[in-house]
C-alpha cells in the first residue's frame, strides 16, 4: 500500500469524467479545485465528475478547495500582447484602471502605492522579473527593471519584506468558501496565511457552514510567506493541516531556504498531529514533456522521505500536455521511495516528545507497541469522524493503517492521510459485532488473511464499549486478546 498520497489539481486538461477516472486508476487519492481560475459552474462539474468516477471505481476520494486569497496581480496589456522588460529600463505600476503597454501596467490592488517605500523590491511572475521602487507619486509607482524578461497579463506580484494591510480572506474567498461548503468538500486551503488568527477565523466560518453530523471540512494553512514562518508554531496549533507552498514561499523568502523550511514545517506538523502537503513544481517539466528531470524525481522522493502526507501536482495535471503520464510517474517515484527499509521511512518525532496526558496519544503508542510485540504490521482504527485514524497516522509508525468508518465523509477525507487505507462498513449494534464487521470488511478487501493478527483500536465511539481500546485480534478467531 502506497503510504504517501497524490493530490492532483483539476483544470482544462482534466475536466472530463473519463480523464479523471484514468487519473484515479493511475494513483490519484485526492483532487484540488483551484479557485484562482475558473467559475463555480466549472468547478461544480469537476467535483461531480470526480465523485462519480470514484464511486464507480469503489474508492475513496478527497476533494480540496484552494481559496485564492489576496493575490496581488498586474492587469492586462494592449491587444493582449506580451511585453519585454529590459534590465535598466524604467517601468511604472499604477493603481489606476488602465490598459498597459511597454512603459506602464495597472495592478488590481488599489492600496499598493500607499504600501510601498522607495528601494522596495517588487517581484513579478514568481520572481522571474524584479523591479526596484525609485519613487512613488500618488497612484504611480516608478520603478527600475533589475531583472527583465517577457511579461504577460495577470501575473502575480510578490513584495518580500513589505507588510501589507490585507485580510487573509477577500470577498471572493467568502463567497467561494460558502460555495465549497455547500458542496460538502473535505478540505479548505487558505492562501497567504500570516498568523494563527487567520486560521481561527476561517475555522469558525467552516464550523458555521458545516453540514456534516460528524466532523467537518479540515483547514489547510498554506505556508508561503515569511510571516508564516515566523509564526509557524502558532499557525500549526490553530489549523488542521499545512501545505508547504514552495512557489510563493521561495519568492517571499529565499529559494535556498525553501528545503530547510520544508523539513522544519513537515517535522513540526507531524509532531503536532497535523497532516502536511508538499506542493509546487514537483514535476514541472512534465507540463510539456512526457518525462521528468532526475532532479524532480529526487525532489518528490525527498518530500516522501521528509514525511509528507501528500505530494501535490498543479499545472502538471490542470493544464499540462501529459496529465496521466505525470500521475503514473509520481506513483512510481513514491513506490520506489517507499522501498527503503521501514525503519528509515518512519518519522518517529512523536516518540521523543514529553508525555501529553492525552488518551489518544496513549492509545496510538499502545497500538504501535502491541503491533511490534505481536509481530504484525497492520492496525485497524474504528473511527466516526476520521480523527483517531489521523492521529495514528501522525505517529508514522510504519504500520499499514486501515481506517474503518460508517461515515462516507470520513471515508473520503482519510484518502489524503499518510498510510491510511479507508474502508466503509455497516453500522454495528454492539462491540463484538463491530469487531466482526471490521474483520469481514478487511477480508473482503483482501488486505488481511485468516489467522493473521491485526491490532484493532478505537477512540471515542458513540454508544459502544469499544471506545478507547486497543485489542490484539486474530482474524477468524472468536475471542480477542486484550
Convert the pLDDT of each residue in 228-278 to its tens digit: 999 999 999 999 999 999 999 999 999 999 999 999 999 999 999 999 999
Cα-based distances in Å from 127 to 131, 192, 364: 10, 16, 44
What is the tens place of the pLDDT at every residue in 81-98?
999 999 999 999 999 999
Edge-to-edge strand ranges of the sheet holding 157-158: 104-106, 90-94, 140-147, 129-137, 121-124, 157-158
Q: What does the alpha-carbon distance between residue 176 and residue 192 come to, in Å, rounded to a whole number?
A: 16
Q: Work out the mean pLDDT of the chain and round it to a whole number.
A: 92
Average pLDDT for residues 271-300, to the nearest whole number? 96
pLDDT over 80 at 353, yes or no:
no
- Asked if residue 230 lies in contact with residue 161, where contact means CB atoms within 8 angstroms, the answer is no
Fold that domain 78-158 belongs to in CATH: M1 Pyruvate Kinase; Domain 3 (2.40.33)
Higher pLDDT, 51 or 432: 51
The pLDDT confidence band at residue 477, using thresholds 50, 70 and 90, is confident
Question: Quick one: pLDDT at residue 342?
Answer: 56
- Asked if residue 432 lies in contact with residue 438, where contact means CB atoms within 8 angstroms, the answer is no
Q: What does the alpha-carbon distance between residue 3 and residue 310 come to, in Å, rounded to a whole number?
A: 9
Question: Quick one: pLDDT at residue 41?
Answer: 97
- Asked if residue 60 lies in contact with residue 415, where contact means CB atoms within 8 angstroms, the answer is yes
Using CA of residue 32, residue 216, residue 249, residue 151, what is the dihedral sign?
A: positive
Q: What does the alpha-carbon distance between residue 59 and residue 65 come to, in Å, rounded to a whole number?
A: 20
Closest residue by Cα to residue 8 from 421, 278, 318 = 318
Question: Quick one: pLDDT at residue 174?
Answer: 97
- Asked if residue 293 lies in contact with residue 316, where contact means CB atoms within 8 angstroms, the answer is no
Q: What share of the chain is helix, strand, coil (3-state, %, to 5)?
A: 40, 25, 40
Question: Quick one: pLDDT at residue 249?
Answer: 94
Report residue 109 as a C-alpha cell. Answer: 490592488
Residue with cell 506542493: 279
pLDDT over 70 at 360, yes or no:
yes
Q: What does the alpha-carbon distance between residue 473 and residue 482 come to, in Å, rounded to a whole number?
A: 8
DSSP E strands: which ranges in 264-377?
A: 275-279, 310-313
The pLDDT confidence band at residue 468, using thresholds 50, 70 and 90, is confident
- Asked if residue 187 lies in contact with residue 119, where contact means CB atoms within 8 angstroms, the answer is no
CATH 3.60.21.10 fits 349-474, yes or no: no
Question: Quick one: pLDDT at residue 343?
Answer: 58
Cα-based distances in Å from 441 to 9, 95, 421, 446: 31, 60, 12, 9
Cα-based distances in Å from 232 to 39, 235, 288, 305: 32, 5, 35, 21
Question: Quick one: pLDDT at residue 344?
Answer: 59
Specify the pairing of strand 140-147 against strand 129-137.
antiparallel
Give the DSSP per-residue string, 404-463. EES-HHHHHHGGGSTTEEEEE-PPPSSHHHHHHHHHHHHHHTTSS-TT-EEEEEES--TT
Q: What does the alpha-carbon distance between residue 225 and residue 228 come to, in Å, rounded to a whole number?
A: 5
Domain boundaries, the chain: 5-69+167-339, 78-158, 349-474
pLDDT over 90 at 480, yes or no:
no
Question: Quick one: pLDDT at residue 432?
Answer: 80
Q: What does the alpha-carbon distance between residue 466 and residue 320 come to, in Å, rounded to a whole number?
A: 48
The pLDDT confidence band at residue 62, using thresholds 50, 70 and 90, is very high
- Asked if residue 244 lies in contact with residue 281, where contact means CB atoms within 8 angstroms, the answer is no
Radius of gyration, alpha carbons of the chain: 24
- CATH architecture of the domain 5-69+167-339 equals Alpha-Beta Barrel (3.20)
Question: Quick one: pLDDT at residue 463?
Answer: 62
Amino acid at each position: 500500500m502506497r503510504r504517501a498520497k497524490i493530490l492532483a489539481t483539476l483544470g482544462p486538461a482534466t475536466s472530463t469524467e473519463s480523464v479523471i477516472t484514468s487519473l484515479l486508476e493511475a494513483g490519484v487519492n485526492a483532487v484540488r479545485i483551484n479557485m484562482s481560475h475558473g467559475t463555480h459552474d466549472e468547478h461544480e462539474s469537476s467535483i461531480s465528475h470526480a465523485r462519480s468516477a470514484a464511486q464507480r471505481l469503489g474508492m475513496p476520494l478527497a476533494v480540496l478547495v484552494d481559496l485564492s486569497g489576496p493575490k496581488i496581480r498586474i492587469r492586462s496589456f494592449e491587444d493582449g500582447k506580451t511585453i519585454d522588460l529590459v534590465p535598466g529600463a524604467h517601468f511604472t505600476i499604477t493603481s489606476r484602471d488602465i490598459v498597459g503597454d511597454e512603459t506602464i501596467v495597472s495592478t488590481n490592488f488599489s492600496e499598493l502605492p500607499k504600501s510601498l517605500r522607495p528601494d522596495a523590491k517588487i517581484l513579478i511572475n514568481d520572481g522571474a522579473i524584479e523591479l526596484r521602487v525609485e519613487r512613488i507619486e500618488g497612484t504611480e509607482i516608478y520603478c527600475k527593471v533589475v531583472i527583465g524578461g517577457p511579461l504577460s497579463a495577470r501575473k502575480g506580484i510578490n513584495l518580500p519584506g513589505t507588510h501589507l494591510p490585507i485580510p487573509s480572506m477577500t470577498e471572493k474567498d467568502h463567497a467561494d468558501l460558502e460555495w465549497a461548503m455547500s458542496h460538502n468538500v473535505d478540505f479548505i486551503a487558505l492562501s497567504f496565511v500570516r498568523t494563527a488568527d487567520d486560521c481561527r477565523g476561517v475555522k469558525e466560518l467552516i464550523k458555521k457552514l458545516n453540514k456534516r453530523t460528524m466532523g467537518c471540512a479540515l483547514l489547510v494553512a498554506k505556508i508561503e510567506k515569511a510571516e508564516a514562518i515566523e509564526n509557524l508554531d502558532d499557525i500549526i496549533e490553530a489549523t488542521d493541516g499545512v501545505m508547504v507552498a514552495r512557489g510563493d514561499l521561495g519568492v517571499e523568502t529565499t529559494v535556498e531556504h525553501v528545503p530547510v523550511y520544508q523539513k522544519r514545517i513537515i517535522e513540526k506538523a507531524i509532531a503536532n498531529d497535523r497532516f502536511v502537503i508538499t506542493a509546487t513544481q514537483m514535476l514541472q517539466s512534465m507540463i510539456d514533456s512526457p518525462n521528468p528531470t532526475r532532479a524532480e524525481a529526487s525532489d518528490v522522493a525527498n518530500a516522501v522521505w521528509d514525511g509528507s502526507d501528500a505530494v501535490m501536482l498543479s499545472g502538471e495535471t490542470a493544464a499540462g500536455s501529459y496529465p496521466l503520464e505525470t500521475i503514473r510517474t509520481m506513483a512510481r517515484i513514491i513506490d520506489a521511495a517507499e522501498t527503503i527499509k521501514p525503519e528509515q521511512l518512519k518519522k518517529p518525532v512523536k516518540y521523543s516528545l514529553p508525555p501529553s496526558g492525552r488518551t489518544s496519544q496513549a492509545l496510538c503508542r499502545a497500538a504501535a507497541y502491541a503491533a511490534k510485540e505481536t509481530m504484525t504490521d497492520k492496525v485497524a482504527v474504528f473511527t466516526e469522524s476520521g480523527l483517531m485514524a489521523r492521529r495514528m497516522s501522525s505517529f508514522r509508525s510504519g504500520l499499514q493503517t486501515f481506517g474503518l468508518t460508517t461515515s462516507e465523509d470520513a471515508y473520503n477525507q482519510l484518502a489524503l492521510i499518510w498510510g491510511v487505507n479507508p474502508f466503509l462498513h455497516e453500522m454495528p449494534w454492539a462491540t463484538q459485532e463491530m469487531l466482526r464487521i471490521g474483520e469481514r470488511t478487511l477480508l473482503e478487501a483482501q488486505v488481511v488473511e485468516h489467522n493473521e493478527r491485526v491490532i484493532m483500536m478505537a477512540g471515542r465511539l458513540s454508544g459502544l464499549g469499544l471506545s478507547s481500546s486497543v485489542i490484539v485480534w486474530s482474524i477468524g478467531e472468536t475471542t480477542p486478546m486484550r
